Structure 1
Amino acid sequence: MLRTWGGILMDATSYPYFRKKLKHYMKTVSNNQEPLMITRKNKRNVVLISVEEYSTLLENQFILSHLESRAWLQSPDHVAPTPEVVAEAMAESATAEVEEP
């Protein structure tokens, strides 16, 4: 069954059926890199995503949380940074956020 959530169309299943087919759904989500909505009676639905998709979400959140990055992304003449540049910036930010005792 397909469901729309926040303008995003994704596959969905009920919680009881998800439990019966857990291995199948985990394999499908991981292999296809597509989220799965698990619906519940109390309308407190959840979404299952792969670890790669989760990492991408965290990276995007990190980048968009910095004003300089957001301004750079919105500029018309930006050039995409290499993965090394992104990793270096993330490492610098992580060490800057750690407080020394």
Structure 2
Amino acid sequence: MEALCLQSLVRFRTIALSYKNLYKYGGLAMEAVAYSTFRKDLRAYLDKTRDDATPLLVTSKDPSANVVVMNAMDYDNLIENLEVQSNARLMSKIERGMKQFAEERGANHELIEVEDA
């Protein structure tokens, strides 16, 4: 189970680093739409955001009022990535595991089956 968790955390770290790099270079490339257009076609924009898993920037005349609409699963993943990255102990374990894997010192473990309660 720890190996599975480590594998998932490595994947989350990779995604988080990708987001970090994209923001560093000027932000995510995403569709932008005015509030009035978004409101008029709300259902279509929400469906597109969900189906394409791409965020949507909803703009206003006042830039401080702009909002980003994104798929809930993507949001949850982003928050989890931020939490993982902010945990120094966990990041150390992930980096140690990545180093072991790169040095081909990884080990296979059988998954523990957990029965539903």
- Length-normalised TM-score, structure 1: 0.66
Does residue 51 (structure 1) correspond to residue 67 (structure 2)? The answer is no
What is the percent sequence identity of the aligned residues? 29
Q: Call closer, same or farther: CA 1:78–1:25 in 2, change over 3 Å.
A: farther
Q: CA deviation at 1:37?
A: 0.1
Q: Which residue of 2 aligns with 1:15?
A: 35
- Residue type of the partner of 1:50? N
Work out the CA distance in 2 between the residues paired with 1:52 and 1:78.
Answer: 30
**Higher RCO (CA 8 Å, separation ≥ 6 residues):** 2
Alignment check: 8 A CA contact 1:72 1:78 kept = no
- Residue type of the partner of 2:99? D
Consecutive unaligned residues in structure 1, runs of 5 or more? 85-101
Provide the secondary structure at the position in 2 that maps to 1:77.
helix
Q: Which residue of 1 aligns with 2:47?
A: 27
Q: Which residue of 2 aligns with 1:96?
A: none
Normalized per residue, the structure richer in strand is 1
Deviation sequence 1:19-44 (CA, Å, 0-9, x none): 00100000000011100000101112
Work out the CA distance in 2 between the residues paired with 1:78 and 1:20.
Answer: 53
Q: Which residue of 2 aligns with 1:89?
A: none
Consecutive unaligned residues in structure 2, runs of 5 or more? 1-22, 102-110, 112-117
Q: CA deviation at 1:73?
A: 4.0
Normalized per residue, the structure richer in helix is 2
Q: Call closer, same or farther: CA 1:64–1:78 in 2, change over 3 Å.
A: farther
Work out the CA distance in 2 between the residues paired with 1:66 and 1:31.
Answer: 32
Q: Which residue of 1 aligns with 2:85?
A: 64
